[in-house]
Amino acid sequence: MTWWARAGASSSRRAIDVHTHVFPDDVAARAIGSMAARTGLRAYYDGTLAGLLSAMDRAGVDVSVLAPVATKPSQVRGINDWTAGRLSVRIRALGALHPAMDDPVGEVARIASLGLSGIKLHPEFQAFHPYDERMRPVYDACARHGLLVLFHAGEDPNFETVSGEPEVFAQLAGQHPETTFVLAHMGGYRRWERVLEALAGADVYLDTSHATELLDATELRDMIRAHGVHKVLFASDGPWTDAAAALAALRACGLTEEELERVCWSNAAELLGIS
């Protein structure tokens, strides 16, 4: 029996959370406090790795994926070195990248060498558009190295602008068919009608973060099925959502046990190479 197969749990009870955040212990309180003050969001753990692991235990999450964001080019290498040092049997991670950094393609190769699983990008925090020509070689490099690209998608309570619109990502995926794009917040935070129109069925993955709390059960179930259960990944965006509540909402939305197993476990396990 593998370590995550909890006694008496069905296969649909296993869970991988593909979108979480942690910070070094000495900056976590400041980082979490600043974000909470700006947005009014509640943090459900303290932003440390220990806090995340405790939250995973409470929620019944087996593996979490760290998704760091670099707001300055100078932060990238340090973030990636620190993040790579957090890898374990329960923790996988993406690397940070910034469009304005020197040699981002070289950093993609280094991210792969560190054992990280992809990169996280946030158009608003990093002041770029997904179509930015500087990023085209980055997307292609990620494909060559087998790395996924996790994008913040849709609105963000820190900003008035929205660069990651569903239509943008649909076109971007078509232009880079070899790249594995994962779009947070079911393809567009508070843009879900447009996601259904522009992205449903496209060759991208959608993560469920925040949709589990803001869509009702029928909307969530229908949206997952409209896109395809083989292309949806459970996510919490912790600490900004309670992973236990997010999992409960997903499991109560009307999906079958087989569909839940895909969304909560198998899809992400295949992407991350977890057997």
DSSP for 137-185, please give it. HHHHHHHHHT-EEEE--B--TT-S-----HHHHHHHHHH-TTSEEEETG
Joined together, the tokens standing for residue 98 give 């910034």
**Mutual angle of helices 217-227 and 243-251, in 10-degree steps:** 80
| pTM (two decimals) | 0.94
User: Which tens digits make up the pLDDT trace of 146-167?
Assistant: 999 999 999 888 888 888 999 9
Question: What is the band of 96 on the pLDDT scale with cuts at 50, 70, 90?
Answer: very high
Question: What is the band of 61 on the pLDDT scale with cuts at 50, 70, 90?
Answer: very high
Q: What are phi and psi of 106, to 5 degrees?
A: -65, -35
Count the neighbouring beta carbons within 10 Å of the beta carbon of residue 47. Answer: 23
Question: For 212-231, what is the mean pLDDT?
Answer: 97
Domain boundaries, the chain: 14-272
Question: For 158-179, what is the mean pLDDT?
Answer: 93
Question: For 55-61, what is the mean pLDDT?
Answer: 98
Classify domain 14-272 by CATH architecture.
Alpha-Beta Barrel (3.20)
Nearest to 169 by CA among 183, 156, 149, 180: 183
Q: What is the pLDDT of residue 8?
A: 41
Q: How many helices (H) and strands (E) does the chain have?
A: 12, 9
> How many residues in total does the chain contain?
275
Computed from CA positions of residues 125, 130, 134, 135, in that sequence, does the dihedral angle turn out positive or negative?
positive
Is the separation of the CB atoms in 80 and 118 below 8 Å?
no
Question: What is the band of 275 on the pLDDT scale with cuts at 50, 70, 90?
Answer: confident
What letter represents residue 123's amino acid?
P
